[in-house]
Structure 1
Amino acid sequence: MKLATLPKEFQDALPILETIEAAGYEAYFVGGSVRDTLLGKPIHDVDIATSAFPAEIKSLFNKTVDTGIEHGTVMILDHGTGYETTTFRTESDYTDFRRPDSVSFVRSLSEDLKRRDFTVNALALTASGEVIDHFGGLDDLDNHVLRAVGEPSERFHEDALRMMRAVRFAAQLNFEIESNTQQAILDHAALLANISIERINVEFTKLLQAPAATYGILEMLKGHLNAYMSGLASSDIDLIGLAELEETAQPQDDAQAWTLLVFELGLTPDDAGIFLRNWKHSKDLIKTVQTSITLLNALRLGEVSDWELYQAGPAIQTALAVVALSELPIDGQALQVRYQALPIHSRAELAITGGDLAKNLQQKPGPLFGKILNQLEHEVVLKQIANLNSALVYRAIELMGKEKK
């Protein structure tokens, strides 16, 4: 198969291939960028594989960075763009089921492609647009099949994360996992226990947002992978419920994805914090999810006050997105209108400051100021007082008087 026209991303990188080939070596575009080109999808990173060894690559280009030179990867900086270029290699045993004990550089493209995970990711593309396919990847692309390269058990023993990548790719590409690959996932699911939660997190987060997330989640359950995922070993029923929710629409960002999952698991905000910390999420994402869950759990019980909407803050957008994704019989648009109509949306918008209190109350700042500001904030949100400096100063004096009695 030959492409009539190379996408611009490949055309921009052609000088790299031409320089390497002019020196007598082989060079090809490889991996996901080739797969996505053939599927008509946008290209992200352009990766290059070559018969040239790292030292030989470095001698051909003025600007390079050793991003993974022990594994044969050098970043070539060309016209402001970085191209990861990796020497053809073979790999030794994977005693930790995640990385090779050692790698050996080779001059054979076929030997290099053998070590890749799935046939659709083991395609190479020449500078002239010729697609090189040693493992039936083109047929699998046409048939929408995800199949491990060679013996699936060997691929999963090399890197157990490939089992999570299988369900993630199937969900993203809307492909079906080939039966032998499916069986190997089931047979070797326990190997996932060797993989760091951070690496699993990356794949699972992408899966939750994929167009065919329902299929991916159900395949994950079928392979018992969740038994080796933090906090999900006994959550089959909840995950099936999540899969059903994602049949019609999927989360659009990480916060929505994890909030929907946590909501379906029925966790409290405190339990959600523990769960998400175990998954090594950022403090910002954890705060957004916890705040969203607080509002969602309140909505599950019935009407919510303007104060509860206000406390959601910026997380209101995540919470309302999850309302739409979930089965809550709530008018999310009406909640959005109510939220927008609030007099203020943060303490920073309150028309009085601690400095104003110090000046008008003739008191030094202290815990009492915080208590008064909290009360004023509450009354403004509930529209019990106008958000005007004069009105708030007058009310603050009243509150101070009550405190002194």
Structure 2
Amino acid sequence: MAIIVRMVEIPNEFHEALPILQKIESAGYEAYFVGGSVRDTILKRPIHDVDIATSAYPSEVKALFKRTVDTGIEHGTVMILDHGTGYEVTTFRTESGYQDYRRPDHVTFVRSLKEDLKRRDFTINALALAENGQITDLFGGLSDMRKHIIRAVGDPNERFNEDALRMMRATRFASQLDFQIEDATLAGIARHSQLLEKIAVERSHTEFVKMMLGTDANNGLKIMIQTDLYQHVPVLSHYLNQLQQIAETDFTLTNEVQIWALLAFKFGLNSQETASFLKKWKTANKIINDVILTVELLFAIQRGQVANLTLYRAGSENVVNAVTVLADTAKTAGLVERYEHLAIKNKHQLKMTGGELIKRGILKPSPQLGEVLNYLEQNVVAGKIKNETEELVKAAVNFLNED
């Protein structure tokens, strides 16, 4: 049974898009805000994307506005650029045939809001908000929100066979919203967990990162273990014991580097193994490099042997990453301050260059220049040489004479 309630206040993000809804409605069609933005409004969370659904077909939408882009015309999505910000407007549709377990083989445009909402993943996302503030709830999403429950729309087995990524999305929502997954939906995930292997790793990567950054991330990990999802993403199946230990701790992470650093550290991976692990997850090279440096620092902290050079190599952000991951003030006390008091933070702050060494006749252009500068950099960081030009010249000469 449809439940229609009136919202007290429409957020600014929706107010800015109201002219689009109003123009579509003035032409005799229905138009609503739908999906995550409606859910997050009700939960008083920040809104990211404002999505609009309409009974108007794509050609009818395009006829109403001067500037449009066919961002997903085959699925009924048109981006409207008339009001500065781009808003995606999607025609009500039904879907069928999901041979790749991700995208429908056939899309049929319809005029019915109910038919459109029936194809949504979870009840908390199957809500439509009208311009007057009324919410249409056909599947008990508002009740599930009050109970902090994630429930599939209709038969969870059908929903997960349509799009296997929905299983990771459910886990991510459980973490982000601090909700529990309803029993039948949870059982559906466990039953179909192997279908996650049909999904591109990049898609699972995005959901996993969002899950690990959630307010209840250990709950998300527990669900992945309970439902066997962890067995169908890269590498994690080899480290069940470590995953269970992580899931039993409360951790709060703030960026992607910290996520992978926590896992690589708990898994006991060296730099080469960490790089291999993250490449299987299709992780960006910059993230991989930062994770390796963070993990090196974490192992040094664990050994109680944190040299200035280790802090220097890690860099400011990764020192903070390591402190956050370890979450042990006794072991990390003073590390950030130690980093801040290093004589230099990068090689460009060294008061000596290869050009200066050549100019003073100490060296000619050669590979040895790099060796000398590296020696000076390391010893300045270690506090053995002052970062002053004349001191560095003397140290360079001494190094060459010893060599």
> TM-score, with normalisation over the residues of structure 1?
0.96
* Residue in structure 1 matched with residue 319 of structure 2 by the alignment: 316
Show structure 1 runs of 5+ residues with no match. Answer: none
Q: Which secondary structure does the structure 1 equivalent of 2:352 belong to?
A: coil
Aligned equivalent of 1:393: 393
For residue 112 of structure 2, the aligned residue among 108, 113, 133 is 108
User: Any conservation in 2 of the 1:146–1:178 contact (CA below 8 Å)?
Assistant: yes
The structure 1 segments of at least 4 consecutive aligned residues displaced by more than 6 Å after TM superposition are: none
Query: What is the Cα deviation at residue 382 of structure 1?
Result: 1.6
Counterpart mapping for 1:158-237 below 5 A: 158-237=162-241
Report the Cα offset of residue 173 of structure 1. 0.8
Matching residue of 1:88: 92
Which residue among 274, 292, 306 is the counterpart of 1:290? Answer: 292
SS of the residue corresponding to residue 6 of structure 2 reads: coil
Within the alignment, does 1:30 sit opposite 2:45 as a pair?
A: no
Q: Where do 1:5-404 residues align within 5 Å?
A: 5-245=9-249, 247=250, 249-314=251-316, 315-324=318-327, 330-403=330-403
* 2-structure distance, mates of 1:308, 1:10: 49
Query: Separation in 2 of the partners of 1:370 and 1:25?
Result: 70
CA deviation after TM superposition for structure 1 residue 278, in Å: 0.7
Percent identical pairs in the alignment equals: 50
**Secondary structure at the residue paired with 2:343?**
coil
| Equivalent pair of 1:372/1:396 in contact (CA under 8 Å) | yes
| Equivalent residue letter for 2:292 | Q
Is the deviation greater in 97-106 or in 314-323? 314-323
C-alpha contact 1:94 1:100 (8 A) present in aligned 2: yes
**How many angstroms apart in 1 are the aligned matches of 2:82 and 2:152?**
34
SS at match of 1:398: helix
Which one is further off, 72-81 or 196-205? 72-81
Distance 1:329 1:79 in 2: 50
> Could you tell me how far 1:290 is from its partner in structure 2?
0.4
User: How far apart, in 2, do the equivalents of 1:87 and 1:39 lie?
Assistant: 26
- 1:66 and 1:264 map into 2 onto residues whose CA distance is 46
Between 356-365 and 280-289, report the one with greater CA deviation.
Answer: 356-365
Alpha carbons 2:319, 2:335 under 8 Å: kept: no
Residue 266 of structure 1 deviates from its aligned partner by 1.6
Mapped contact 2:91–2:109 kept (Cα < 8 A): yes
Distance 2:178 2:114 in 1: 28
1:361 shift after superposition: 2.7
Q: Quick check: 2:301–2:331 contact (8 Å CA) kept in 1?
A: no
In the alignment, the residues of structure 2 paired with residue 240 and residue 123 of structure 1 have an alpha-carbon distance, to the nearest angstrom, of: 35
3-state SS in 1 of match to 2:154? coil
Residue type at the aligned position of 2:331: D
Alpha-carbon displacement from aligned partner over 1:83-125 (angstroms, at most 9, x marks no partner): 1100011111101111111211111111111110000000001
Residues 362, 335 of structure 1: CA spacing in aligned structure 2 closer, same or farther, 3 A cutoff?
closer
> 1:3-23 CA distances to partner (integer Å, 9 max, x unpaired)?
122111111111100000111
Q: CA deviation at 1:375?
A: 1.0
Do the aligned residues in 2 keep the contact of 1:172 with 1:211 (CA within 8 Å)?
yes
CA drift at 1:398: 2.3
1:206 is paired with a residue of what secondary structure? helix
Structure 2: gaps (5+ residues) = none
SS in 1 for 2:236: coil
Name which of structure 1's ranges 377-386 and 90-99 shifts more when overlaid on structure 2: 377-386
The DSSP-based 3-state class of the residue aligned with 1:303 is: coil
Q: How far apart, in 2, do the equivalents of 1:8 and 1:171 lie?
A: 27
Q: Distance in 2 between matches of 1:59 and 1:329?
A: 61
Range that drifts further, 379-388 or 394-403:
394-403
- Matched to 1:399, the amino acid is F
TM-score (norm: length of structure 2): 0.96
Of 390-399 and 271-280, more deviation after overlay is shown by 390-399
Deviation at 1:333, TM superposition (A): 3.3
Equivalent residue pairs, number = 398
d(CA) in 2 for partners of 1:48, 1:329: 47
- Displacement of 1:394 in angstroms is 2.0
* CA–CA distance in structure 2, aligned partners of residues 215 and 36 of structure 1: 20
Please give the secondary structure, in 1, of the residue aligned with 2:322.
helix
Task: Give the Cα–Cα distance (whole angstroms) in 2 for the partners of residues 46 and 218 of structure 1.
Answer: 31
